[in-house]
Amino acid sequence: SFLRRSHSEFQEKTTEWTCRMKSKEIPTAALVLGVNVTDHDLTFRSLSEVLQNNITPYIAFLEAKDCPGVKKLMQKLMGQLMNCYVDVDSSEDEDYVQVSHNRIRCSMTSLINWYESVTKKTDSETPSKKRTSSSRHWQSPPVVVVFKDMESFSTKVLQDFIVISSQHIHELPLVLIFGIATSPMIIHSLLPHSVSSLLCIELFQSLSCKDHLSTIIDKLLLRASFPFKLGEKVLQVLINIFLYHDFSVQNFVKGFQLCIVEHFCSQPVSVLCCQLVDAKKRETTQKLLEDLHVYHENYLSVLRCLHVFTSFLPKYPLGKQIRELHCACLENQVWETEEYESSLQLARMLNKSDLVTMLQQCVEIFVSSSGKEFDNTVEKLKEFLTQFQKLEAEAFQEQDVSVSSQKELQKKTDLYHLQKTLLELKESRRYKKLTKFEMLRFDVVDYIDSLVRNYLVPANHKTLHEIAYFNTASVLREHLNAAPRIALHTALNNPYRYLKNQELKSDEGSISNKAPDICIVYKLHLECGRLINLVDWLEAFSTVVMAAEGPNADAASSDQVDDIIHARFIRAVSELELLGFIKPSKQKTDHVARLTWGGC
Amino acid sequence: VFPMKNVYSCYSCFTGSFRQQFSFPSIFIYGHTSSGKTYVMQTLLNTLQLPHVFVNCVEYFTSRLLLEEILMQLQSCCSETEQTSHVHCDTFNDFVRLFKQAVVSEELEDQTLYIVLDRAEQLREMEANILPAFLRLQELTDRNVTVVLLSEIVWELFRPNTGCFEPFTLYFPDYSIGHLQKILSQNHPPEYSVDFYAAYINILLGVFYMVCRDLKELQHLAALNFSKYCEPVVRGEANERDTRKLWKNIEPHLKKAMHTVYLREISSSQWERLQRDDGEPGQLKGLSAHTHVELPYYSKFLLIAAYLASYNPVRTDKRFFLKHHGKIRKTNFMKKHEKTSNHLLGPKPFPLDRLLAILYSIVDNRVAPTANIFSQITSLVTLQLLSMVGHNDQLDGPRYKCTVSLDFIRAVAR
């Protein structure tokens, strides 16, 4: 929807550029896309498709790393624009020769000449030729230049480019798009006033990343058509990575793909995780699978209904987004949680118009769901709605009761009488008859409660849930949230883990002398303080290594062995230095400083 | 309309080039933005029909492009034929040779050829020989040619270390308010009288002169707001001479314009749309209203930790971030330097380890040192919220500094 809005703005913008001629401003769009830079690519690709189909074939994308100077920028720009032209018309224009980049002077005049030749060509085309692609294009389509990552561009390059293009705005209709990740103030910090006055900037904002995430979860997980589902812990891990580390939707999708792979590789029952149609071939489990499928459908509809209810409540006791509600339901029986209680209480205090809207939305949800069980529910809800409407007619009669009690209070009395009347009022209020509206409200809330208890059972209470649900969060966390230092430490401390050599199996404390050199050296250095004496270290190392030989070691060959051990030691120490655990110390000669402490 | 002094001095330079007499080899004209240098040059040269070549140095940013462009314009200027073949010219030596060849036609025998280089400060970025060579072009080529350099920067900053031929410098002073009034009043649309437009310009200058003296900006603003000014006249509520009514109508509008269009908060097309629809500009949020940036949880903490690391001196770290800290004794040195707030001095660089240490202490729950945290640091650098100090190759001790302001951090910390 953002794209549609921006593209319609674009059309307006490009129609206006002719008017802009008198004020010599380049129309510019500043797109604020959000901090998740990895997702910008997708946005730009879809934007370019929309533009190519509707407005102009001349689109060029520029990235900061390719444009250290204005010359490279012009080269890249011209290369892309000329290729655009070839792609569009390659089928019809056989004698167009691709000019080699080296021979073109990359200056503005050659770009202008190219543009004139291209537009003249389209003008002079005879109408008999079919040009379906460019029939939607205009007489002189604007050239769109997209700066994909605005923050990384150097200011000199941008300023020079804008100054040059604004000189030739009449001959080359240019439209600029700035892809901004943080905030539009970056424009003011990158461009001085004299340059930004040459631009006519309009701001467009894309949806926030959290909205994107909700859409994705909605489409992937909350649909009955996909048999694969995520367990609560796994979903929590993925969402945490999204919210805590990077707002990247791409990473979330990749994590989801990893879950699918893991599930189908490691879980043997996952063979049965498939669409319901295929499941009909396996008779023994067919009934159970069908049950599971039906459970899913019902679950989803009731979940949405509950979300509709709770999203209206102040302070969102059960979470604002439907994904939070889904997580809560997956975890345990949601009707036993405190938040559910408080949300029911709040729901009992809702006013009439809110209730009516919510009921209508629920009716829509149940009507659109594919399960057959909800016809009764729909009937009941519609009944509630008609009762609400009937109440309106009777509303006037209720007002008189409350008015009389107020009048009593206003009469002049002394303190004792006032106290008495107030106490009486309080007593009467306790036994006050509930109005019809309140009774109806109670009924509605109770009904919703019963629906919840029936259908929102957490998934691990259903049989065969392991087929569809993937719940080993630890595996996922290891793969997605890598901890390189911990991995290194494990490898060096406990080489059995990775080498799977039976001889290396040892306890934590002892140093096996069959381990690789670097492991021995590492374990020895863990026992030292901040500065390690190399000679002592060498002694310890050779002691450990020599212990293998036993008491049969020859005294005569001790010198040669020493040299070999010395060489091995030096190699292991330099490997440790490369890994970053030690560094040569300037404070004492022949000492190295230790750089890491603790487990990581 | 221009200050006649400027025009006269220019004119006198040019008419100094009498037949068969060489004029000044090089002239340097400087003045503030929009003081009319380019415009005066172009009009003079065109009106007096002097042969000239006009090149903008920003557009032809390498010496090769610049020299080839000059030669190409020369071809079209001198020769009668229309076609301009591509000339290949790499060095100034070639340029001199080709220039001598090109300037061989009867018309130029007795006239001075002018080469005007606009935005000449770019010449300093090119090879070191370009600027001195241009200043001596007359001597090198032995032809009747004058090089005119237009720039906003004074000559003292141009002078190369090795010395060069000093050009004749000419200063274009800024326009005074009376001059601005006269110039702007000239552009009046034909359907209204001069006096009407002059009154409008008067009002406009009264509002904007304090903040803006740039002629181009004022012209732009005048064009944008004139339709609103004419509205009462168009609607029939007032006639052209009702200055008070017109003033009351336009004055709040101009004040609004100062906050929005002038600062480029909203674009001029949005402004015009607003004027047509007569809506409230309060609804339309300008660029500076969107300063909030959504950051992930740990990135926020990283940024805050970076800010603390940049602006707090190292000795206070122990005091703030550890549970059991001792007192810090102030030495004499510190007492003397206490006055300058760190905020004024700007951010100081800090090593990566310090950043991580502060991060671990300000985050409530345990933070696992995963690769994601480290890659977030680099992402913050890409977003220009942190900047890397020191060499790119220094892998073992990268140092950073925080580039955002206190307000931003306060907004993030919420």
Mean per-residue pLDDT, B131-155: 85
Q: Chain B residues with CB inside 8 Å of A109's CB?
A: 69
Q: Chain B residues with CB inside 8 Å of A196's CB?
A: 264
Q: Which of A183, A188, A483 sits opposite B368 (nearest CB)?
A: A483
Is the CB of residue A34 less than 8 Å away from at least one CB of chain B?
yes
Please report which confidence band the pLDDT of residue B16 belongs to, taking 50, 70 and 90 as the band edges.
low
- C-alpha distance from A305 to closest chain B C-alpha (Å): 30
Please tell me the predicted confidence (pLDDT) of residue A576: 85
Q: Pick the residue with more confidence: B398 or B75?
A: B75
139-178 in chain B: CB under 8 A from chain A = none
For residues A85-95, one letter each, b for 16 or more C-beta atoms within 10 angstroms of the residue's C-beta and e for the rest, the string is: beebbeeeeee
Q: Pick the residue with more confidence: B110 or A298?
A: A298
Local structure of B150: helix, strand or coil: strand
CB contact under 8 A, B58 and A163: yes
- C-alpha distance from B377 to closest chain A C-alpha (Å): 10
Q: Pick the residue with more confidence: A388 or B166?
A: B166
**How many angstroms separate the CA atoms of A37 and B299, rounded?**
14
DSSP secondary structure code for residue A332 in this structure: S
CB contact under 8 A, B383 and A183: no
CB contact under 8 A, A107 and B60: yes
Neighbours of A295 (CB within 10 A): 19
- Select from B27, B31, B29, B78 the least CA-distant residue to B52: B78
What H or E segment, with its residue span, contains residue B245?
Answer: helix B243-259
Q: Which of A25, A243, A481 sits opposite B296 (nearest CB)?
A: A243
Find tokens 């007593």 and name the residue: A427
Question: For the segment B63-74, what is each residue's pLDDT rounded down to a tens digit?
Answer: 888 888 888 888
Please tell me the predicted confidence (pLDDT) of residue B17: 46
Low-confidence ranges of chain A (pLDDT < 50): 1-6, 17-22, 87-102, 125-137, 396-405, 552, 555-556, 599-600
Neighbours of B272 (CB within 10 A): 17
User: 3-state SS string over A250-318?
Assistant: HHHHHHHHHHHHHHHHHCHHHHHCCCHHHHCCCHHHHHHHHHHHHHHHHHHHHHHHHHHHHCCCCCCCC
Candidates B187, B290, B377, partner chain A, best to mutate (most A CBs within 10 A)? B290
Residue spans of beta strands (DSSP E) within A410-543:
469-470, 531-533
Question: Strand pairing partners for B387?
Answer: B401
Is the CB of residue A372 less than 8 Å away from at least one CB of chain B?
no
Please tell me the predicted confidence (pLDDT) of residue A430: 61
Nearest chain A residue (CA) to B265: A201
Is the CB of residue A15 less than 8 Å away from at least one CB of chain B?
no
Q: Pick the residue with more confidence: B25 or B396?
A: B25
Q: Chain B residues with CB inside 8 Å of A239's CB?
A: none
- Residue A96 near residue A66 (C-beta atoms within 8 A): no
CB contact under 8 A, B62 and A71: yes
Torsional class of A500: left (φ above 0), alpha (ψ -120 to 50), beta (otherwise): left
- C-alpha distance from A535 to closest chain B C-alpha (Å): 26
Candidates A36, A246, A248, A581, partner chain B, best to mutate (most B CBs within 10 A)? A246
* Contacts of B16 by beta carbon, 8 Å cutoff, 6+ apart: B23, B24
**How many angstroms separate the CA atoms of A184 and A178, rounded?**
10
CB contact under 8 A, A32 and B217: no
CB contact under 8 A, B287 and A188: yes
CA dihedral A485, A486, A491, A494 (to 10 degrees): 140
Neighbours of B206 (CB within 10 A): 13
Is the CB of residue A200 less than 8 Å away from at least one CB of chain B?
yes
Please tell me the predicted confidence (pLDDT) of residue A125: 47
- The number of residues in chain A equals 600
Question: For the segment B170-216, what is each residue's pLDDT rounded down to a tens digit?
Answer: 888 777 888 888 877 777 777 777 778 888 888 888 888 887 777 77
Nearest chain B residue (CA) to A595: B353
- Residue B213 near residue B71 (C-beta atoms within 8 A): no
CA dihedral A375, A381, A386, A392 (to 10 degrees): -170
Tokens of B86: 């591509």
Tokens of A591: 């000492």
Is the CB of residue A201 less than 8 Å away from at least one CB of chain B?
yes
- The rounded radius of gyration (Å) of the Cα atoms in chain B is 31
Its pTM stands at 0.75
Q: How many CA atoms lie within 13 A of A336 on its CB side?
A: 6
Neighbours of A312 (CB within 10 A): 17
Helix, strand, coil shares of chain B, percent, nearest 5, are 50, 10, 40
257-286 in chain B: CB under 8 A from chain A = 264, 266-270, 285
**How many angstroms separate the CA atoms of A71 and A161, rounded?**
10
Mean per-residue pLDDT, B141-155: 85
Q: Is A311 exposed, middle or buried (0-12, 13-18, 19+ CB in 10 A)?
A: middle
Is ipTM > 0.90 here?
A: no
DSSP result, B293-316: ----HHHHHHHHHHHHHHHS-GGG
**How many angstroms separate the CA atoms of B285 and B298, rounded?**
30
**How many angstroms separate the CA atoms of A355 and A366, rounded?**
16
- C-alpha distance from A53 to closest chain B C-alpha (Å): 25
Q: How far is CA A138 from CA A133, A169, A423, B265, in A?
A: 11, 17, 81, 31
Helices (H), B33-117: 37-47, 63-78, 92-102
Is the CB of residue A30 less than 8 Å away from at least one CB of chain B?
yes
CB contact under 8 A, A164 and B298: no
- Residue A521 near residue A492 (C-beta atoms within 8 A): no
Residue spans of beta strands (DSSP E) within A461-590:
469-470, 531-533, 582-584
Please tell me the predicted confidence (pLDDT) of residue A97: 41
Please tell me the predicted confidence (pLDDT) of residue B19: 41
Candidates A187, A203, A583, partner chain B, best to mutate (most B CBs within 10 A)? A203
Q: Is A383 exposed, middle or buried (0-12, 13-18, 19+ CB in 10 A)?
A: exposed
Candidates B83, B365, B384, B387, partner chain A, best to mutate (most A CBs within 10 A)? B384
Report how many Cβ contacts below 8 Å link chain A to chain B.
Answer: 134
Please tell me the predicted confidence (pLDDT) of residue A19: 46
CB contact under 8 A, B376 and A149: no
Nearest chain A residue (CA) to B292: A183
Percent of chain B past pLDDT 70, that is, above it, reads 70
Average pLDDT value for chain B: 74
